[in-house]
Amino acid sequence: MLETSARLLRLLALLQARRDWPGAILAERLDVSERTVRRDVDRLRDLGYPVESSRGTDGGYRLVAGTAMPPLLLDDDEAVAVAIGLRAAAGVAGVEETAERAAAKLEQVLPSRLRRRVGALQAYTEPVPPDRPGPAVDPAVLSVLAAACRDRERLRFDYRGHDGSSGARVAEPCRLVSWGRRWYLVAWDVDRDDWRTFRVDRIAPRAPTGPRFPPRDPPEGGAAAYVARGVSAAAWRHHARVLVHAPAEVVAARINPAVGVVEDVDGHTCVLVTGADSVNSLAVHLGLLDLDFEVTGPPELVDRLRALTARYARATAAAEDRPEGQAERPD
C-alpha cells in the first residue's frame, strides 16, 4: 500500500508538471507497466482528480480543470515562491484578507525546513510602507475587468471622478495595472476615441459586457508604462522637454518609467519628457543622467540651471589656481 500511495503521488506530480503525457513515458518514469499506469489513473479519478485519456498509439493522459480544486503538489522552491507571493499580495489593497488566509493555510502544512525558509524571509525583510493606505478594491470587480480584457468585450460602467461626480463610460479594456497601492484599468475610451486610465476602486461595472471588439495595439511602451507616465505626470508641478545628446535606448536605460518618456529623434539624440515636484529636483535629476543635454524651457528651469552652473564654477575656481594633483592643506 505504501508503494502504491507513493507512486500515486509521483504520478500526480508528473501530471501537474506538464499538460500532456504519453502513457509509455509515464510508465517509464514510474518504472511500471502501462497497465499499472491506467489503474493508477483510475485511482486518481476516484479521488476527484479529473484526468482525461486518449486512445491509440499516441494515447496519453492530461490533468484538466474540474468542478473543484484538488490538492496541489509543489516542490520545495515552488512552495516557498507561492508563500512569498501570497505574503506580498497581502499588501495589495482589496485582496489582503484573502491572501492572508491562503498564506496561513499554506504555511501550516509546510515542512519545518520550508517553514524556516519562509519565516527567515519574512523576519528579515522590511518593505517600505506607503505614505497612506491605498483604496480597497473589490476582487469581484477585478475578476470582471480581467475577464473583459481576456475576452475583448466592451465594458459599460459608472465611473466616479476625483471630484465625486459620476458618469457612464464605455471602454474597450486592455490591461489591469497595479501601481503602488492602487489598481488601474487601461482601456480605449470609445466616446473620447483615445486611451484612458481608470482607477478600479472608482469603477462600478454594468452587466452585461459586450459586444466583442477587434484587438488594438496597446499604448506606446505598454500598459504599465502608460500608467506610470500618467500617474507621475499628474503629480508633477513642473514639466520639461529636454533634448538629450544620446540615443533613446541609452536614456531609457538610465531612468525609471515613472520619471518620464523618451522620444527618439535620430540615432544620436532624443527628447526626454519629464517633470518633478520642484525645479531644483528636476535640475538635479537631469544632471544625474551624466549626458549632454539642452533645455529651452520652462524659464524657471533655465534660470535654475544657470544658477547651478555659476555655483559649480565658483566651487572649482580655487582648484584652478593650484598645480594639478596638489590638494589644499587644512590649517
Ranked by mean pLDDT, the top range of 91-95, 122-126, 150-154 is 150-154
pLDDT tens track for 126-157: 665 655 566 778 878 888 999 999 999 999 99
Question: Tell me, what's the pLDDT at 81?
Answer: 85
When computed from its CA atoms, the radius of gyration of the chain, rounded to whole angstroms, is 29
Question: Tell me, what's the pLDDT at 231?
Answer: 72
Q: Are 243 and 294 in contact (CB under 8 A)?
A: yes
Q: Are 172 and 187 in contact (CB under 8 A)?
A: yes
Torsion sign (Cα): 206, 151, 97, 230: negative
Query: When comparing pLDDT for 228 and 153, which is higher?
Result: 153
Question: Tell me, what's the pLDDT at 2?
Answer: 43
Average confidence (pLDDT) over 104-122 = 81
Question: Tell me, what's the pLDDT at 283?
Answer: 92
User: Can you spell out the DSSP letters for 60-105?
Assistant: EEEE---SS-PPP---HHHHHHHHHHHHHHTTSTTSHHHHHHHHHH
Average confidence (pLDDT) over 220-227 = 82
| pLDDT over 90 (residue 192) | yes
Question: Tell me, what's the pLDDT at 109?
Answer: 75
Question: Tell me, what's the pLDDT at 91?
Answer: 56
Q: How far apart are CA 257 and CA 95, in angstroms?
A: 26
Question: Tell me, what's the pLDDT at 1?
Answer: 42
Range in 1-15, 69-83, 122-136, 157-171 with the lowest mean pLDDT: 122-136
Average confidence (pLDDT) over 28-46 = 90
Range in 148-162, 214-228, 247-261, 316-330 with the lowest mean pLDDT: 316-330
| pLDDT over 90 (residue 221) | no
DSSP code of 212? B
Range in 32-46, 69-83, 316-330 with the lowest mean pLDDT: 316-330
| pLDDT over 60 (residue 304) | yes
| pLDDT over 80 (residue 53) | yes
| pLDDT over 80 (residue 246) | yes
Single pTM value for the model:
0.56
- Which of the four pLDDT bands, split at 50, 70 and 90, describes residue 118? confident
Torsion sign (Cα): 184, 186, 190, 193: positive
Average confidence (pLDDT) over 293-322 = 88
